[in-house]
Amino acid sequence: MAVISLSYLALPKRYHLTSDWELAALCVMIATVLIIAASKNIFRHRSAFWISLAISSTIHLLIAHTWAKRTPLLSRGAGKGASFLGFFLFLGTYWLIRLLQRKFDPEKSPV
């Protein structure tokens, strides 16, 4: 997270996001990095992991942006809640993709 944050801060000001997008991107970055760090290597080698991470992160970014737009100064608890939302979105998306894999291709998909 430090490398991503420092890379962003090193950019010229004209490439920085607006404050509501910055807050949303921060919540999504925290959730995404924690999901990748907490997952086992076996899950990271599956395409379902990366597809569900991309889909859930996109949904999370849109929800967090809408949330940040409605309340410009999120409290500390609300920021934590926005980050945890990404974790639950990922779990739901991963479960749905694995369910669809098993339904449409039961021989190739391990249980």
H or E segment to which residue 102 belongs: helix 76-104
Whole domain around residue 85: which residue ranges? Answer: 18-104
Query: Does residue 56 sit within a domain?
Result: yes
Query: Does residue 41 sit within a domain?
Result: yes
Q: How far apart are CA 11 and CA 76, in angstroms?
A: 26
Query: Does residue 6 sit within a domain?
Result: no
Say whether pTM exceeds 0.85: no
- Digit-by-digit pLDDT tens for the chain (111 residues) are 788 878 878 888 888 888 778 888 888 998 998 898 888 776 777 888 899 999 999 999 999 888 878 776 666 677 678 778 889 999 999 999 989 888 887 676 455
DSSP 108: T
The structural domain count of the chain equals: 1
| Cβ-contact 86, 31 below 8 angstroms | yes
Q: How far apart are CA 108 and CA 111, in angstroms?
A: 10
Query: Does residue 48 sit within a domain?
Result: yes
